[in-house]
Amino acid sequence: MENYLVMKVTFLGTGTSMGVPIIGCKCEICQSQNPKDQRFRSSVLVSVDNKNFIVDTGPDFRMQCLKNHVQHIDAVLITHIHRDHIAGLDDIRPFCYQQKAFIPVYGSEYVCQRLERDFSYCFGENRYPGVPDIELHRIDDQPFEVLGVKVVPIIVMHAKMKVDAYRFDNFTYITDASFISEESVKKIEGTEYLVVNALRKEPHPSHFTLQQALDLISRINPKHAWITHVGHTLGFYDEVQASLPENVTLAYDGLQVEF
């Protein structure tokens, strides 16, 4: 029997690119008073061996940290360069200041190039005082270590864009996927705890539908799986949750799980 790492996962955000409710939308979901129907942009905190890893820093990142009482960050992993996943990177500043250290940020070559462009004031010899202290680490499709913790990047397709899913031991986090190759599925196999995106029930060009996500979950057969990156058309939380298999949970903001 394998000895897996003990970890806690906090869902900082579980919504799609515009969040839920969407500004100006009058649909029943966006008007719902159930907190589980209200979603920040997707991000997750993985805590293992007293280290905190953030996957994606979207535009809601500051409020996500405040609401979930995040006290320190040891590393940031970026899945891809869409604004709903990187726009809040500047808000690691207080962590840099309090920890008196550069924070390592991991991403593909393309991700790092975009961060260097979009947050150019953080890099170079003449950095403005008080900017985030970011230490970029370029990754490819090979496993790497973050502060002694092994991470396996898994390439998934977001329409025609490559996105990095990340596997920490027996936990895999997949966001913004519409297709996963057989090679990548093999890297996911054996995962006991799985997070996967499902935007809505109807087909979408760059995101899994709920059924496609459930099909992947069925194939991987984890002990438990959670659905994230949810849009407002998927339905009310309580109704969708009641329709899911026993080992699948519709994630919601602030949900914490330990395994």
Task: Map 102-115 to HEC letters.
Answer: CEEEEEEHHHHHHH
Span between the terminal Cα atoms of the chain, in Å: 15
Tell me if 60 is assigned to some domain: yes
Question: What does the angle CA 129 – CA 134 – CA 139 come to, to the nearest 5 degrees?
Answer: 160
Number of domains in the chain: 1
Domain containing residue 241: 7-258
Tell me if 2 is assigned to some domain: no
Tell me if 251 is assigned to some domain: yes
The position carrying tokens 């986090």 is 173
CB within 8 Å of 143: residues ≥ 6 apart: 150, 151, 152, 153
CB within 8 Å of 250: residues ≥ 6 apart: 36, 226, 227, 230, 237, 240, 241, 244
Q: Would you tell me how many other CB atoms lie within 10 Å of the CB of residue 162?
A: 14
State the average pLDDT for the chain: 97
Tell me if 169 is assigned to some domain: yes
Interatomic CA distance for residues 217 and 239, integer angstroms: 20
Question: Mind listing the pLDDT tens digit of every residue in the chain (259 residues)?
Answer: 467 889 999 999 999 999 999 999 999 999 999 999 999 999 999 999 899 999 999 999 999 999 999 999 999 999 999 999 999 999 999 999 999 999 999 999 999 999 999 999 999 888 888 999 999 999 999 999 999 999 999 999 999 999 999 999 999 999 999 999 999 999 999 999 999 999 999 999 999 999 999 999 999 999 999 999 999 999 999 999 999 999 999 999 999 999 9
Please tell me the pTM assigned to this model: 0.97
Tell me if 67 is assigned to some domain: yes
Strand partners, 47: 8, 52
Which phi-psi region, left, alpha or beta, contains residue 124 (left: φ > 0; alpha: ψ -120 to 50)?
left
Inter-CA distances, 227 with 26, 106, 197, 235, Å: 24, 24, 6, 13
CATH of the domain at 30: 3.60.15.10
